[in-house]
Amino acid sequence: MAETLPQTIPVLHVCVTCRRGLPLTDDPVQGRQLYEALARHAEKDNFSIQPVDCMATCSRGCVAAVSMPEKWTLILGQLGPEKIEDLRTFLGLYRASKTGTVMPSKRPASLSDMILARLPASLSVSQELS
């Protein structure tokens, strides 16, 4: 059996149904815009991106989760298409971090309060063992 190498790039899951508090009739959907804008940069910036239909954090703006093996998984909120460049910078800092922790003082200013939660890397390992 071939050994699988751990993924060495961040995986970003973006809620494509997030509306940032806008009425259901308003288009385009902000989460979809965020996903599409980031998808254009994924290969060049060395991250993977996956759409998610709903992350159940509707009151927290556009939401995404970023993860890598043996690093914290971070749930990010208060995002929007206007923060694309800062989010791209953050993904590079996350990838370079040993644990996935990027202190607020190191993040772009617009992302200082974006971390809603962090989940230990051991959660994905324990799920694989079940």
Q: Quickly state the pLDDT bin for 80 (edges 50, 70, 90).
A: confident
pLDDT above 90: percentage of residues in the chain: 65
Residue 72's Cβ-count burial label (10 Å; 0-12, 13-18, 19+) is buried
Average pLDDT over residues 45-73: 92
Tokens 């997030």 belong to 18
**What pLDDT score was predicted for residue 21?**
63
pLDDT at 32 over 70: yes
Average pLDDT over residues 112-126: 79
Report the C-alpha gap between 79 and 34 in whole angstroms.
8
Tokens, residue 66: 């970023």
Locate tokens 């998808």: which residue?
A: 39
Checking DSSP bridges between strand 48-52 and strand 11-15, what pairing results, if any? parallel
Is 54 within 8 Å of 14 (Cβ atoms)? no
Q: What is the mean pLDDT of the chain?
A: 85
Q: State mean pLDDT over 22-35.
A: 78
Q: Per-residue pLDDT tens for 84-115? A: 999 999 999 999 999 999 999 999 999 988 99
